[in-house]
Amino acid sequence: MSFRSTATLLALIISFWQPEGRAQSIAPLPALKDSAKFLVGVALNVGNEVDDLVDIKESAALISTQFNSIVAENGMKMRFLHPAVDTYDFVAADALVEYARGHGMIMHGHTLIWHHDSQLPDWMKSYQGDWQAMLRDHVQQICRHFAGKVKSWDVVNEAIDNRHTDQYRATLFLDKLGPAYIEQAFIAAHEADPAAVLYYNDFGMESKAEKLQFMLTIIDDFQRRRIPLHGIGFQMHVRVDSPNIAQIKSALQAVVARGLQVRISELDVSLNQTRKVANLDPALTQLQKNRYREIVSAYLQSVPPAQRGGITFWGLLDKDSWLVESKPYPDWPLLFDDQGQAKPAFWGVLEGLKELQ
């Protein structure tokens, strides 16, 4: 195995300790992390390259004052950490992990296995060797490297089909190994880092009853066979008007009943997937505020304190959201606007956190 040098890592990290620019001018806000008795996290689109830390320097004060957990939106996925069959590259991810440690934040790992073509390393798409051994090595090399530094992992991401929701998603991993690749990944991760909390992560389970039921069937099977699955991540990419809160509560409670940890792992609230408006207006911001408040409140009502893995928002500023990057129309799905100012959504989250603890 080969690994990239980390000789320049420490000097680079030190240069980011002091926040600069826009974040210094942000008026003091109540800290979300201080209003919750569980982890409140944010996804940062860094870790792809060491220089990505430059992108968060201007928002460093906002990140460190509001959140106590971070996750790499893309930079700890397969193609970044395992770029060649015998090569692992941890330099950029190490920088992010060290950034989290230096700011007293918990690091969540995302994700060990994901099917998406854009995040698969090219070599893996044509691999002709022993797939079971290769995937096991992939999981264990990464988990061992970050043992004691990464508290929890999304081990497998989005393995259930989103159209035929009572089936496994057709992926390269399913084709090569069948559904057993999922349990094999959890077993390998647990062996490599027994202290890590291991999650299955997916979207739409709070809105699609068949998908939820299929996921629960997997959980029940794993629990009968003592497969080391510790929690479920509900991505919760939702709209202001759907799914309804009763559905969300029911889905969370179904996992709680099985004794697992529950994370809202990728929370954002889209305003424009159905409306397609050109500009954000005050009425929409109030709808979004109310939606964030009721989702946070539903989490607190449905998940007992001992099972709360936390809530992570999938991005910091509206302009950085994957929804803005991937859609042909504007959207404003996050808690802070493009200048780092708190939107009504921020105050909705704060209200939800204060309703129940």
266 is catalytic: yes
The catalytic position among 73, 98, 206, 266 is: 266
The encoded tokens of residue 330 equal 């504007």
158 is catalytic: yes
Query: % helix / strand / coil in the chain, to the nearest 5?
Result: 45, 20, 40
For residues 251 and 234, give the distance between their C-alpha atoms in angstroms, rounded to a whole number.
9
Please count the other Cβ atoms lying within 10 Å of the Cβ belonging to residue 177: 16
The encoded tokens of residue 304 equal 């007992």
Are 318 and 345 within 8 A, CB to CB?
A: no
Backbone φ, ψ for residue 138 (5° rounding): -55, -50
CA–CA distance from 176 to each of 24, 142, 158, 193, 227 (Å)?
51, 21, 17, 25, 21
For residues 89 and 76, give the distance between their C-alpha atoms in angstroms, rounded to a whole number.
10
In sequence order, what DSSP letters do the residues of 164-184 get, joined into one string? Answer: STTSB---HHHHHHTTHHHHH
The catalytic position among 158, 183, 206, 294 is: 158
Report CA 230 to chain centroid distance, whole Å.
Answer: 16
Residue type, 199: Y
For residues 61 and 309, give the distance between their C-alpha atoms in angstroms, rounded to a whole number.
24
For residues 248 and 253, give the distance between their C-alpha atoms in angstroms, rounded to a whole number.
9
Partners of residue 234 on adjacent β-strands? 202, 264
Cα atoms in the Cβ-side hemisphere of radius 13 Å centred on 340? 20
- DSSP letter at 336 equals B
For residues 207 and 92, give the distance between their C-alpha atoms in angstroms, rounded to a whole number.
36
Are 270 and 334 within 8 A, CB to CB?
A: no
Report CA 163 to chain centroid distance, whole Å.
Answer: 22
Q: Which of 354, 325, 288, 316 is nearest to 26 (CA)?
A: 316
Which residues are known catalytic residues?
A: 158, 266
